[in-house]
Amino acid sequence: MKKIFIFWFVGLGLFVNAQEVQKEFTRVLLNETFDKIDNNWDNTFNADNLFIAQNGYYELFRKTKKAGYFLLPKTNEEYSVFEIEIAFSFGDHDNKKQSAGVLLMAQQDGTGGLLIEINQKKEYRIVRVYNDKLVPISGSGNGWQKASTNITKLSNTVSLKTYNKVYDLYINAIFLQSFTEIELNKGRVGLYIGADSKVKYDFMKIKGEIKTDLATINAGDAKEEEKSFTQIIIKMKDQINRKDKEIDELKSKIKLFENGSLGGNNANNNFQKDTATANELQRLKSKLQIFEADNEALSFKTVELEKQNEKLEAFKKGIENNQENGDIIINLTTMVGSQKVKIEELELKNKSLNLESNSLFTETKDLTKQLDKTTNSLSAEKEKSAKYKSDLDSLKKQIAMLNDSLKAKNEVIKSNANKVPEKEISEEELLQQMIEKERKERMLRKEEEERKKKEEEDKKNNTGG
Domain 2-208 is classified in which CATH homologous superfamily?
Exo-inulinase; domain 1 (2.60.120.560)
Q: What span, in angstroms and rounded, lies between the C-alpha atoms of 180 and 356? A: 36
> Given pLDDT bands bounded at 50, 70 and 90, which one contains residue 384?
confident
pLDDT in tens, 57-102: 999 999 999 899 999 998 889 999 999 999 999 999 999 899 999 9
User: CB-based contacts of 335: which residues, under 8 Å, 6+ apart?
Assistant: none
Give how far Cα 439 sits from Cα of 301, 425, 435, 450, 453, Å: 144, 20, 6, 17, 21
> Given pLDDT bands bounded at 50, 70 and 90, which one contains residue 331?
low
C-alpha closest to that of 159 among 91, 97, 104, 80: 104
Q: What span, in angstroms and rounded, lies between the C-alpha atoms of 409 and 411? A: 5
What ranges do the domains of the chain cover?
Answer: 2-208, 215-321
pLDDT at 78: 93
Residue 189 has pLDDT above 90, yes or no: yes
User: CB-based contacts of 209: which residues, under 8 Å, 6+ apart?
Assistant: 23, 24, 25, 26, 27, 81
Q: What span, in angstroms and rounded, lies between the C-alpha atoms of 170 and 161? A: 9
User: Could you tell me which residue, 47 or 428, shows the higher pLDDT?
Assistant: 47
pLDDT in tens, 413-446: 877 766 655 556 777 888 888 888 888 888 998 8
Question: Helices 222-259 & 275-321, crossing angle to 10 degrees?
Answer: 160
User: Could you tell me which residue, 149 or 304, shows the higher pLDDT?
Assistant: 149
Q: If you average pLDDT over residues 1-20, what whole number do you get?
A: 48
Residue 128 has pLDDT above 60, yes or no: yes
pLDDT at 84: 96
Helix (H, G, I), strand (E, B) or coil at 389: helix
pLDDT in tens, 219-276: 455 555 565 666 666 666 666 766 677 777 777 777 776 666 434 444 444 444 456 6
pLDDT at 181: 87
Residue 41 near residue 34, CB atoms below 8 Å: yes
pLDDT at 261: 45
Residue ranges of E strands in 312-417: none
Lowest mean pLDDT segment, chosen from 51-65, 145-159, 187-201, 280-294: 280-294
pLDDT in tens, 272-318: 445 666 666 777 777 677 777 777 777 777 777 777 777 666 766 66
* Residues, the chain: 465
Q: Which range in 11-20, 289-298, 323-332 is most confidently predicted, on average pLDDT?
A: 289-298
